[in-house]
């Protein structure tokens, strides 16, 4: 019988591992920043080395044996191995290299046609777009590709030698979400016929992928043969742990990106094209995902640019923001283009409302305000119900930002402060650990209601929408750096 599960989260910014027992008690944690790469694409071997380090740290420090592993992580992008099983340079979900491919698809109607089948508007960081871009840029690499999958699947392959994905990550871009089989119409419609025989099996989250190999046992301390379970997209893990499974249930994440998700019981193919739709582990349930390209990465850009460094950088930033208050500044946070709730890979950022009296703290207030408006824009398009909204992510650790979210969204938010939310949700996929999904007895959520005088936030959001709508045609005319 499995007694513990090591839940590994392969994030964009951080790689984390948490060892949990059946009661959700944590017996070990380890985390290391994901590798940064200034060259185009990402070095998958560097990511694997970080994972080895994290696993080794946790195993060495834990007094409990690891009896199973499950992997969740960042989705989308194009991660691949060649026909000999060696890694090829990877492209993460936030790459913009394939922007021209998406712009072409938008002009010729491919984007809308794909949405009408799948409920997903494709962006440059999807495997289909990157594949088409690589076909033009590096046909030799394409010819040598053996298997295409996602970041967590690359790590699963390294742990076990087995190449597979799961239905949540396979949802974009080639899965028929109803049948959960790859859709030849989608593959052909996107001009990706050559990728068809490179797609791996799409397993049900929680299935055993394979066992830890002898070589990995040596480098990590995991026991050879330890079962490794295929996990899911990180957002699926989080919403499972939050106990959100009914249509209309919604979650907002102030993380690397500002993301709004809601549970649906039907594909939203008749709605205005926007965002993505992902198959949930349970048949007949879908997760509507609208993730802006802004988030804490946008905040970190501001911190780096203005000299906020060191472990206390966030405290110093918020001290300046609180001292300045709202000075009317607002950032349009499209530093990496935009993918939801509207598709504009060519979009760029801009500060509005700056005057000679605007201080650095006032600009900082404008940054978090702009990210929050992008979050509301996504939430309003996500089909969320009217119940209290669950809020999580690194940004939700700051009470000031949580209050701003409640004010801008004009609805109460329940702050989910559990640091191991994703780990609990991923572990709950493993047979025997299902009870960890939705467990919330130990740490009740903090409820934050909109403050008095929040009308300014509502007016500001209307102005934000008007400015964005006015600028969208102009983004196409401005050369992107």
**CATH code assigned at 90:** 3.30.420.40
Could you say which of 236, 256, 290 is where a domain stops? 236
Strands (E), 120-245: 145-149, 165-166, 175-176, 181-182, 202-203, 208-211, 227-233
Beta strand 79-82 with 145-149 is antiparallel
Q: Could you tell me if 96 and 160 lie in one domain?
A: yes
Tell me how far the alpha carbon of residue 255 is from its chain's centroid.
8
Tokens of 421: 């939310």
- 422 inside domain: no
Residue at 32 is within a domain: yes
Residue 95 φ then ψ, to 5°: -65, 150
Q: Does residue 429 belong to any structural domain of this protein?
A: no
Q: 343 and 458: one domain?
A: yes
Q: Residue 148: inside a domain, yes or no? A: yes
Domain assignment present for 365: yes
Asked whether residue 255 falls in the same domain as residue 176, the answer is no
Both 266 and 396 in a single domain?
yes
Greatest CA separation for the chain: 66
* Alpha carbon distances (Å) from 70 to 172, 210, 230, 324, 438: 21, 11, 6, 45, 18
Q: Is position 253 within any domain?
A: yes
In this structure, the answer to whether residues 203 and 262 fall within a common structural domain is no
Same domain, 151 and 281: no
Do 281 and 217 share a structural domain? no
- Is there a single domain that holds both residue 63 and residue 163? yes
227 and 251 in a single domain? The answer is no
* Residue 80 CA: distances (Å) to CA of 89, 130, 149, 207: 8, 12, 6, 21
Tell whether 254 and 149 lie within a shared domain.
no
pLDDT value of residue 418: 80
pLDDT tens, N- to C-terminus, the chain (481 residues): 789 999 999 998 899 999 999 999 999 999 999 998 777 788 999 999 999 999 999 999 998 999 999 999 999 999 999 999 999 999 999 898 999 999 999 999 999 999 999 999 999 999 999 999 999 999 999 999 999 999 999 999 999 999 999 999 999 999 999 999 999 999 999 999 999 999 999 999 999 999 999 999 999 999 999 999 999 999 999 999 988 888 888 999 998 889 999 999 999 999 888 899 999 999 999 999 998 989 999 999 999 999 999 999 999 999 999 999 999 999 999 998 898 898 888 899 999 999 999 999 999 999 999 999 999 999 988 877 677 789 998 899 999 999 999 999 989 999 988 878 889 999 999 999 999 987 555 457 899 999 876 677 878 899 999 999 999 998 877 766 6
- Count of structural domains within the chain: 2
Domain range holding 292? 244-415+451-481
pLDDT at 443 (0 to 100): 58
Domain boundary among 178, 203, 236: 236
Kind of pairing between the strands at 350-352 and 389-392? unpaired
Same domain, 161 and 264: no
> What is the pLDDT at residue 382?
83
For residues 316 and 228, membership in a common domain is answered with no
What is the reported pLDDT for 454?
67
Classify residue 443: in a domain, yes or no. no
Q: Which of 201, 236, 271 is the last residue of a domain?
A: 236
Interatomic CA distance for residues 350 and 182, integer angstroms: 40
| Burial category of 80 from C-beta neighbours within 10 Å (exposed 0-12, middle 13-18, buried 19 and up) | buried
Residue 420 in any domain: the answer is no
């Amino acid at each position: 019988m499995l007694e513990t599960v090591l839940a590994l989260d392969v994030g964009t910014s951080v790689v984390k591992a948490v060892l949990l027992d059946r009661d959700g008690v944590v017996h070990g944690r380890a985390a290391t920043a994901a590798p940064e790469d200034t060259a185009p694409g990402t070095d998958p071997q560097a990511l694997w080395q970080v994972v080895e380090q994290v696993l080794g740290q946790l195993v060495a420090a834990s007094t409990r044996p690891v009896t199973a592993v499950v992997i969740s992580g960042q989705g989308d992008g194009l991660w691949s191995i060649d026909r000999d099983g060696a890694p090829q340079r990877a492209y993460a979900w936030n790459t913009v290299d394939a922007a021209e491919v998406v712009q072409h698809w938008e002009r010729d109607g491919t984007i809308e046609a794909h949405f009408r089948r799948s409920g997903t508007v494709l962006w440059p960081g999807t495997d289909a777009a990157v594949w088409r871009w690589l076909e033009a840029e590096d046909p030799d690499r394409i010819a040598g590709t053996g298997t295409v999958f996602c970041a967590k699947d690359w790590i699963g392959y390294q742990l076990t030698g087995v190449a597979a994905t799961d239905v949540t990550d396979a949802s974009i871009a080639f899965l028929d979400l109803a049948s959960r089989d790859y859709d030849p119409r989608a593959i052909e419609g996107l001009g990706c016929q050559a990728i068809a025989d490179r797609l791996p099996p799409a397993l049900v989250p929680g299935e055993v992928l394979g066992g830890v190999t002898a070589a990995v046992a040596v480098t990590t301390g995991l026991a050879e043969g330890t079962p490794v379970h295929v996990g899911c997209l990180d957002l699926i893990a989080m919403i499972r742990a939050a106990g959100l499974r009914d249509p209309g249930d919604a979650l907002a994440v102030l993380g690397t990106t500002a993301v709004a998700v809601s549970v649906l019981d039907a594909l939203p193919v008749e709605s205005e094209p926007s965002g993505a739709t992902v198959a949930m582990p349970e048949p007949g349930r879908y997760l509507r995902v609208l993730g802006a390209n802004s988030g804490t990465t946008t905040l970190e850009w501001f911190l780096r640019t203005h000299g906020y460094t060191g472990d206390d950088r966030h405290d110093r930033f918020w001290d300046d923001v609180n001292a300045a208050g709202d000075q009317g500044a607002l950032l349009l946070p499209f530093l990496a283009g935009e993918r939801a709730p509207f598709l504009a890979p060519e979009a760029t950022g801009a500060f509005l409302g700056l005057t000679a009296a605007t201080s650095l703290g006032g600009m900082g207030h404008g940054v978090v305000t702009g990210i929050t408006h992008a979050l509301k824009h996504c939430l309003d398009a996500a089909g969320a119900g009217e119940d209290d909204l669950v809020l999580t992510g690194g940004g939700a650790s700051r009470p000031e930002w949580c209050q701003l979210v409640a004010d801008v969204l004009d609805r109460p938010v329940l702050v989910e402060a559990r640091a191991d939310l994703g780990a609990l949700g991923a572990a709950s996929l493993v047979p025997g650990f299902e009870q960890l999904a939705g467990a919330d007895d130990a740490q009740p959520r903090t409820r934050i209601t909109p403050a008095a005088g929040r009308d300014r936030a509502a007016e500001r959001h209307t102005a934000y929408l008007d400015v964005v709508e006015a600028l969208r045609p102009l983004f196409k005319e401005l050369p992107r750096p």
